[in-house]
Amino acid sequence: MSTTEAQAPKPFSRIKVRVTGLVFCGDDVALLRRTRPDSVHYTTIGGNVQDGEDYRAAVLRELEEELGLTPDLAASEPELIWMADARISRPGPTPPPRKFHLIYRLHVTPEVRARLATQEFDELPDGTQEVGAIEWHDYRKVDGLPLFPPIGRQIAELDSPTAPVTRFELEPITDQNYTWI
């Protein structure tokens, strides 16, 4: 075995943490829609935790970056409701990381919702930007959407946007139960 082979990272040998904010306004939840030439898919509002960053601070940072939900706008405190362990292959030359999704829930008023962003701009490696649309969906109807992380069923099964959550750990996300969108 060569030195290069011995040092090549194996799939899922790195761990990353992604935080998500499920922002509810009444019965609606904010999702980010990405339209690409070959697909349309949704993601929850969030992103990767930076090195040394506190999880709650990370979700608040992501909500400010993607939704414009700044600390001066009234929102409930983020409540950690779910954790999902993802081990899925992905396109590209870099071995995929194992990713833990920490899913927070918070609530805003219609007045705050009216002040939030309607678009999100993601910088791509080539320096261009991909524009995503912030859409609000009735939480009971998100099951079946091409959503990442794939938690549409769990969101739709909530008795209400404020319902207590009985199971914190969600089923693992693997190549067997997830298809890249």
SS3 assignment for 105-149: EEEECHHHHHHCCCEEEEECCCCCEEEEEEEEEEHHHCCCCCEEC
- Between 85 and 19, name the one with better pLDDT: 19
pTM for the model: 0.86
The confidence score (pLDDT) of residue 138 equals 98
The confidence score (pLDDT) of residue 103 equals 96
The confidence score (pLDDT) of residue 83 equals 94
Does the pLDDT of residue 181 top 70, yes or no? Answer: no
The two counts, helices (H) then strands (E), for the chain are 4, 10
Average pLDDT value for residue range 80-103: 84
Does the pLDDT of residue 59 top 90, yes or no? Answer: yes
In sequence order, the 6+-apart residues with CB closer than 8 A to the CB of 177 are: 150, 171
The confidence score (pLDDT) of residue 5 equals 54
Does the pLDDT of residue 175 top 80, yes or no? Answer: no
Does the pLDDT of residue 72 top 90, yes or no? Answer: no
Token pair 């790195």 is found at 14
The confidence score (pLDDT) of residue 19 equals 97
d(CA 6, CA 3): 5
Average pLDDT value for residue range 146-172: 90
Backbone angles phi, psi at 109, to 5 degrees: -85, 165
The CA–CA distances, whole Å, from 75 to 60, 72, 78, 107, 124 equal 11, 9, 8, 6, 30
- Residue 50, number of CB atoms within 10 A of its CB: 11
d(CA 44, CA 36): 17
Does the pLDDT of residue 158 top 90, yes or no? Answer: yes
